[in-house]
Chain A
């Protein structure tokens, strides 16, 4: 969707965006630090929810059960919030550090295309991993949890926010990470700041996790639109931050 809107509005090249995304994925797969982090981090965030729903006694009072399951779901939301931050905060500063950014900037690629390609390379795997982990969690909930617990987990008010907020959180996290990456000059600093910047939206999602806000179809549409608007605004804002001259000269300008 982001790609289509971008191409229509700004005469962007889908071929160049694809080239960037393909290269990014290829490079990340061979980057041991990133590949390991992207594999281990989701597993870590899934262990606690699985153990929690396994350990929750069926006799627990309803409000405490709600809280226990809400906390479990919050752990799962950390996956789309934190996993892409690792990749996206590396996206620009990593290229600067290894000296590959300048040759790329001498090609006809526009900054919007470059950033969109990098965002897609983080977004698609994050979505796949997050939904896969959620699927595994649901399988555990269906097979090992007490039926009362299982019924609570499978309630629309639990599943819908998870499905809706996964891309929303990932989108926020990616653009926050790339924004940090364009303005810092050290990969480790970028990754720390990127992870921190990805956390604020969790405050909103936790309201759903704890049942403070009840999801509905109307809310789903609103949130879907919010996702689109936030993604586009963030893309434009981060593109404005992407200053070729500063990135190439190291901030002499």
Chain B
């Protein structure tokens, strides 16, 4: 899978997206409020949150489909304003959650329509390249009606690549796809990342975000936190060592005292001891020796691994959709 580019290089040092205090309200309902973040060129930025958290509304706002209530933003080097709408839309691509294909038209006819809307030169060549990028060149003449949901999603991606966008917004690109189709979409996103395309990816699949995204923002009407997944883990969770022994330790406090930088301990319901330490790597050998010295049978010892899901669940604790 290869994707070629004739996209103009972005201005060095400038961010692809800058958002400052952006808010959108629909009458009495707040879609999102006081959202501030930036996305660098070439970055894959994940936007996570539960249903109703304001992810799609944010994409629609940055994609100039809906107007913000307040706040400022810059997208692909242009200030988000109504009179910049056409030029912003020329520089970006948005793939909504549902690909929205004309089912009575063929794959190539669908893409030709959008090539016309973007007024692209060499439309035929671009369509061929976009279809090759998503491995659909052989299906160009098939009516979209005959394609599976996964293949339709790939046509949607091919369509989003037609104008060689500076910023590509993907709204839940793997929603409703089976694991194989989802993996194909992930591979394509990986390819685009290698090519240097800035990708703004909304998803509630945390494993997907962890695998694909350089940084993530966790949203629940307000933006709760932004950073690399490992940064978020560090910010939210104390570092710790997990120790499993065959039998309960006779005196865990003595073990705690033996560990460098230890701050406390507790025992999980499954019997695992968790020792909060400043540096798990440094403390691990000491911990192993201390357990053995205390007469314990050591079964396993490892630094505690917090997934992005743990981070997410720590930050998102309410059902936004039910409340709105």
Chain A residues close to B by CB (< 8 Å): 13, 15-16, 18-20, 22-23, 26-27, 30-31, 98-110, 244-245, 248-249, 252-253
Contacts and interface: CB of A to CB of B under 8 A. Distances in A.
A101 B113 contact: no
A27 B104 CA distance: 6
Contact of B26 (A23, A99, A253): A253
Given A26-B109, A108-B86, A102 B66 contact: no
Given A30-B104, A100-B102, A106 B116 contact: no
A25 B96 CA distance: 25
A30 to B, nearest CB: 4
Contacts of B65: 102, 105-106, 244-245, 248
Contacts of B114: 103, 107
B77 interface: no
A244 B113 CA distance: 19
B268 to A, nearest CB: 45
28 contacts: A13-B119, A16-B116, A19-B113, A19-B116, A22-B113, A22-B116, A23-B105, A23-B109, A23-B116, A27-B105, A30-B105, A98-B103, A102-B100, A103-B95, A103-B99, A103-B100, A105-B65, A106-B63, A106-B92, A106-B96, A108-B89, A108-B118, A109-B117, A245-B66, A248-B65, A249-B60, A249-B66, A252-B26
Nearest to A13: B119
A245 B89 contact: no
B98 interface: yes
Nearest to A252: B26
B124 to A, nearest CB: 14
B67 interface: yes
A18 to B, nearest CB: 7
Contacts of A249: 26, 57, 60, 66
Contacts of A23: 102, 105, 109, 113, 116
B48 interface: no
A37 to B, nearest CB: 16
B66 A18 contact: no
A152 to B, nearest CB: 45
B109 A108 contact: no
Nearest to B92: A106
B119 A15 contact: yes
B67 A245 contact: yes
Contacts of A101: 100
A30 B89 CA distance: 30
Given A23-B113, A99-B98, A252-B27, A107 B104 contact: no
B239 interface: no
Interface string B153-181: 00010010000000000000000000000
Contacts of A15: 116, 119
A101 B115 CA distance: 16
Contacts of A26: 105, 109
B102 A27 contact: yes
Contacts of A99: 96, 98, 100
A98 to B, nearest CB: 7
Nearest to A31: B104
Nearest to B59: A106
